[in-house]
Amino acid sequence: MKAVIFDLDGVITDTAEYHFQAWGSLAATLGIPFDREFNEQLKGISRSESLDKILARGDRSSAYSADDKQELAAQKNTEYQRLISALTPADVLPGIRPLLTELREARIGIALASASKNAAFILDRLELTHYFGSVVDVTAIRHGKPDPEIFLTGAVNLGVQPADCIGIEDAQAGIQAIKGAGMFAVGVGTPSQMQGADIVVATTAELSLRMLEAHFI
């Protein structure tokens, strides 16, 4: 085990909940049904693809021009940025800061593989940026999760082989991306949401270097 590559939203901090709320408000203004079960399909998916899935659910895929869609995506992002503006270091999920500290002390690489364009801002607000050897630049990624590209790029940036990496995710698309990259996948959530994961934890409080080393194969 030479590196751990983290998802952000729902793994490092509970911003998955804020994305849910911001997409929910947008869907409500469009009169499109939106619930937690449907939201599972959006987790880990880029802003524009998420919007496309919501519009498709409302049978409105061709109702908006490219400009209109950009405006709708911007509306969601404005609401989301309002929600994350108050983030502080206290919003790091349980177990994550101790794990990052243990990894750094053990000289194990640390990378971020988030589809969010707000990722760098959030790491700064949480005062976690200094732990990361690589924050993958999502604007340079051609294929989003479930494609493995973002995790593979994290491994390249850290100079390690995928087989020596652990990926940690809370989204089905993310688990698929980690496995597609040939890495060991840790899912945070319920086993039914984390199909294909090598191990599943209910919460991040269960994560530690010792625990990862005990399961890594």
For the CB of residue 79, give the shortest distance to ligand GL1 in the complex, in Å.
11
Contact between 9 and Mg ion per CB under 5 A: yes
Question: Which of 168, 98, 110 lies closest to 134, judged by CA?
Answer: 110
Helix (H) or strand (E) run with residue 215 in it:
helix 209-215
The whole-angstrom separation of Cα 164 and Cα 42 is 28
Residue of 118, 134, 153, 204 interacting with ligand GL1 (CB under 6 A): 118
Question: Which of 130, 126, 129, 154 lies closest to 140, judged by CA?
Answer: 154
Work out what residue 45 binds among Mg ion, ligand GL1, none; the CB cut-off runs from 5 to 8 Å by kind: ligand GL1
Nearest to ligand GL1 of 40, 164 (CB atom) = 40
43 is in an annotated binding site: yes
- Cα–Cα distance list, 42 to 48, 184, 216 (Å): 11, 23, 28
Tell me the chain's radius of gyration from C-alpha atoms.
17
Contact between 125 and ligand GL1 per CB under 6 A: no
Contact between 77 and ligand GL1 per CB under 6 A: yes
Nearest to Mg ion of 119, 152 (CB atom) = 119
Retrieve residue 215's tokens: 């399961």
Residue of 5, 7, 92, 212 interacting with Mg ion (CB under 5 A): 7
Binding site residues, ligand GL1, CB under 6 A: 9, 19, 42-47, 50, 77, 114-118
